[in-house]
Amino acid sequence: MSTQTSTPSPTGNTGFRLPKWAGSFGFQIIAALIVGLGLGLLAKYTGSTKASPNALGATLQTIGSSYVSLLQTAVVPLIFTAVVSSISNLRQVSNAAKLAWNTLLWFAITSLIAVLIGIGLGVLLQPGASTGITQEAKYAGKSGDWWAFLIGLFPKNFLGLGASTTVTDGAATTAVSFNVLQILVIAIAVGVAALKVGKAAEPLLNLNASALAVIQKVLWWIIRIAPLGTVGLIGNAVAVYGWDTIGSLGKFTFAIYVGLALVLFVVYPVLVRTHGLSVKQYFSGVWPAVQLAFVSRSSVGTLPLTQRVTERSLGVPRAYASFAVPLGATTKMDGCAAIYPAISAIFVAQFFGIQLDFSQYLLIAVVSVLGSAATAGTTGAVVMLTLTLSTLGLPLAGVGLLLAIDPILDMGRTAVNVAGQALVPTIVAKRQGILDEALYNAPRNGDPFVDDDADAAAGSAADPTAAASAEDRALAGAKA
């Protein structure tokens, strides 16, 4: 009789282990997209509708809405602490004004390119001609206008919050909302005041830095469960909207996504390459944020991940990235404020048989470049479209036609927004000679969470400002 001796497995290697690639954030998002698509189709073809979802449809809707609610919960404290911290970080920079000016300039340049592409596609593809559909109801939602934008700059309270109460069947329901633009104004005022006060403001800035670290950690946990949220969001979108709704406006949907693809995969790579940087490294660095933006449809909710990949993967100094990325998350929208309103305005004009002249096309470009700030804190793309239509004198009733497929379009729009919000700081940092090109060209592993342990070690320091990175110090010494 023979005996066999078993060799014990090395510690930590017992049991089944997933391949390394299966643990990457990107793979998890892609897998969740596929699962969500399958479950959404299953829900749709088993009778689930928006008005009366079945058990699977209701589950997908609950998972998706709950995940978005988690992201939105942290938006107000995140924006406030991030902007105050970013302004305080600029005290380390000798050429802060030049960096800020160049950031705004490149925001405008990329937006202008995007809106020109949108106008060209609208004229070429004629998305509003011969649609075969009729207008059923007038648009009665929120409209954007320049006067409302100016009034909206003045906060009504310290937190920029508002509340509205509705009474249904004798029951009162109060909903609390926030205005990102007002929060931005408040945070900028506090940050600039702290810089002017000087040493006496150090305790406040240290407290703000600590609060920002805690908020980002909570958001980081939320982002880690993004694959679960993706299943719910994509599944619900497919179950509710399916292909029928998209089919009725197929030409318009096609035009929007062609425009978004041209900006993301042609314009951005050309700008990256023109500045002597690797296109492959740009996409591999920014892709985790683009994926999350696509499924969450929230630039602000994606902000922590966008800032992380901008700093850790693209090599933008933290002191500058912490200023440019939060600013971009509220005002830099090549998808929502450039491509979409340009094509949509042309669609509405064609649908109602209105001939646009050169001056009106010029107005579309001007409104798109300057108007994105006017949509901050609102349902961006829709309000941006109403702002464009009202400026051109086009009927707002056309907006009602496009609302049915807005969630489908918003996925692509937000992905392009976020890609641009990471691109501009990278370009500006490169032009100013402060980009960490060794970090930019470093190998990627597809996991934006890989240096969490290093973050925790840095965050354990008693002084929140003691853990300045090497790139921060390089930025501090940069000269105009």
Residue 315 class from Cβ within 10 Å (0-12 exposed, 13-18 middle, 19+ buried)?
Answer: buried
pLDDT for res 262: 96
pLDDT for res 314: 94
What does the pLDDT look like over 350-360, one tens digit per residue? 888 888 888 88
Within 74-225, where are the H helices?
A: 75-89, 96-125, 146-152, 180-197, 202-224
In the predicted model, what is the mean pLDDT of residues 398-406? Answer: 73
Cα dihedral across residues 264, 267, 273, 275: positive or negative: negative
Does the predicted TM-score (pTM) go above 0.85? no
Dihedral over alpha carbons 429, 188, 470, 198 (to 10 degrees): 130
Percent above pLDDT 90 for the chain = 21
Predicted confidence (pLDDT) at residue 251 exceeds the cutoff of 80? yes
Cα distance between residue 110 and residue 263, in whole Å: 9
Q: What is the DSSP letter of 338?
A: I
pLDDT for res 65: 82
In the predicted model, what is the mean pLDDT of residues 414-430? Answer: 94
Under 8 Å between Cβ of 82 and 303: yes
In the predicted model, what is the mean pLDDT of residues 316-323? Answer: 85
Cα distance between residue 299 and residue 306, in whole Å: 9
Cα distance between residue 1 and residue 286, in whole Å: 62
The letter for the amino acid at 377 is: G
What does the pLDDT look like over 189-209, one tens digit per residue? 888 898 888 888 889 989 988
Identify the bridge partners of residue 174 per DSSP, sorted by sequence position.
165
Predicted confidence (pLDDT) at residue 137 exceeds the cutoff of 50? no
What is the rounded average pLDDT for all residues in the chain?
77
How sure is the predictor about 469, in pLDDT bands with cuts at 50, 70 and 90?
very low
Residue 335's nearest CA partner among 372, 286, 373, 377 is 372
> Residue 478: enclosing H or E segment and its boundaries?
none
Predicted confidence (pLDDT) at residue 282 exceeds the cutoff of 90? yes
What does the pLDDT look like over 286-312, one tens digit per residue? 999 998 888 888 887 788 889 889 999
Taking the CB of residue 376, how many other CB atoms lie within 10 A of it?
24
Cα distance between residue 148 and residue 34, in whole Å: 42
Count of CA atoms in the C-beta half-sphere (13 A) of 478: 29
